[in-house]
Homo-oligomer: A and B are copies of this chain.
Amino acid sequence: MANMKQIAELAGVSLGTVSHVLNDTARVREPLRKRVLEAVRTTGYQPSQLARGLRRDKTNILAMIIPDILNPFFPGVVRGAEDVAFSNGYRLVLCNTDNDHGKEVMHLNALRTYLPSGLIVIPSDFSDLTAQTESYRRAGSAVVCIDRLPRNWDGDSVTINNADGAASATSYLIGLGHRHLAVITGPLHLTNSQDRLKGFKRAARQAGLEVPPNYLQETTFDRAGGYAKARILLKMIPRPTAILACNDMIALGALLAIREAGLHCPEDISLIGFDGLDLTETTTPQLSSVYQSSYQLGATAAQLALDRVEKKNTPVRHIILKTELRIRDSVAAPPSNVEVVAAATPKKLRKVAS
């Protein structure tokens, strides 16, 4: 592969001029410019991104740290970021942390010396990342946190309106007549989980509804978690007539638990998830969910990062995306005789509970 020096010779100009033509960093007279471009074309020359990065102190790389691409929520985020990166001439480096703070720090450390222009992070937990990200900032990288925020975060961020989303779903259920509302939240050390729970509580409070403590179950953001906690909820007396699952994977697990308990959704119990993944359309019944655009989350973050690369000293931005309640088949009015049923079939309930 040719290098710049050879292009310069071929075009009969100096090294500097080639660079100026390629980067449009100075005015170059047309004949020279043409000769340079021609030499580039014939040789198929491409500038070394490494030398370039070394000299400019940054590369056209965007780094992205997420929990796990296998979780169906994250591919959208990644794709959104990659699209924006690609159309701006950047490449995306992808790192999975498995929500392991140690692994997160390892990635953070290892990535740094590639001098990425931007770094997009979905924090593994509520650990303070200031120390690690500060070194990126010093090196001139733009850091954006998304989806959830680490402790003390004061940089750019993109999140969604978790509280309102959860509140809207909750209010909807209440509007349907539900009074026995349960919620299965994600890990409460994550800010998004916290906010969803807040929204749930707010909506309940506004409706004058008391939520017994054991109607609130915390678990991991996956199917197994949802399954386990839903089983517990379904054994309670009175049994909740509706469950808000704080993400779709939890909802999926809950749906399975409901089916296994011999109950029907939505006749016996209503269920609303969170995220609005594609797979909510292929379940039976189709799952209602608080939709959020994972794609836009990623795309916005990438744009934010790229913006900051351009203009270092713009004020910090904190973008909050909207959610949208998508009602499908998994919700209905509560069975009219819930209390009676619970009282009338103590044996069955007791049996299941044992």
Nearest CB in chain B to that of A58: its residue: B50
Question: Which of B61, B83, B252 is A282 in contact with, Cβ under 8 Å?
Answer: B252
Report the count of interface residues on A (CB-CB < 8 A): 47
Nearest CB in chain B to that of A116: its residue: B91
Q: A48-B113, A91-B111 are in contact. List 19 more A-B contacts (CB 8 A).
A: A46-B109, A46-B113, A49-B113, A50-B54, A50-B114, A69-B69, A70-B75, A72-B75, A78-B94, A82-B95, A83-B96, A91-B95, A91-B114, A93-B94, A94-B94, A279-B279, A282-B282, A283-B284, A284-B284
- Pairwise interchain contact B69-A59, C-beta atoms closer than 8 A: no
Nearest CB in chain B to that of A277: its residue: B279
| Distance to closest chain B CB from A48 (angstroms) | 5
| CA distance in complex: A204, B112 (Å) | 56
- 18 intermolecular pairs with C-beta atoms under 8 Å apart: A1-B135, A46-B113, A48-B54, A50-B53, A50-B54, A50-B114, A69-B75, A70-B76, A74-B75, A82-B94, A86-B95, A86-B96, A86-B107, A91-B111, A92-B93, A92-B94, A93-B94, A284-B284
Count the copies.
2
Whether A91 touches B91, Cβ cut-off 8 Å, given contacts A47-B113, A54-B50, A282-B283, is no
Which residues of chain B are near A111, meaning CB under 8 Å?
Answer: 91
| Distance to closest chain B CB from A312 (angstroms) | 18
| CA distance in complex: A337, B51 (Å) | 73
Nearest CB in chain B to that of A103: its residue: B86
Is residue A344 within 8 Å, beta carbon to beta carbon, of the partner chain?
no
| CA distance in complex: A74, B75 (Å) | 9
CB-defined interface of A56-68 with B at 8 Å, one 1/0 digit per residue?
Answer: 0001010000001
Is residue A235 within 8 Å, beta carbon to beta carbon, of the partner chain?
no
| CA distance in complex: A50, B60 (Å) | 12
| CA distance in complex: A222, B279 (Å) | 13
- Pairwise interchain contact B75-A79, C-beta atoms closer than 8 A: no
Which residues of chain B are near A340, meaning CB under 8 Å?
Answer: none
Which residues of chain B are near A107, meaning CB under 8 Å?
Answer: 86
**In A229-268, which residues have CB < 8 Å from any B CB?**
252, 255-256
- Pairwise interchain contact B86-A79, C-beta atoms closer than 8 A: no
Is residue A349 within 8 Å, beta carbon to beta carbon, of the partner chain?
no
| CA distance in complex: A306, B287 (Å) | 43
| CA distance in complex: A284, B282 (Å) | 8
- Pairwise interchain contact A1-B49, C-beta atoms closer than 8 A: no
| CA distance in complex: A113, B46 (Å) | 7
CB-defined interface of A110-153 with B at 8 Å, one 1/0 digit per residue?
Answer: 11111100000000000000000001000100000000000000
Which residues of chain B are near A82, meaning CB under 8 Å?
Answer: 69, 94-96
Which residues of chain B are near A255, meaning CB under 8 Å?
Answer: 282
| CA distance in complex: A302, B243 (Å) | 42
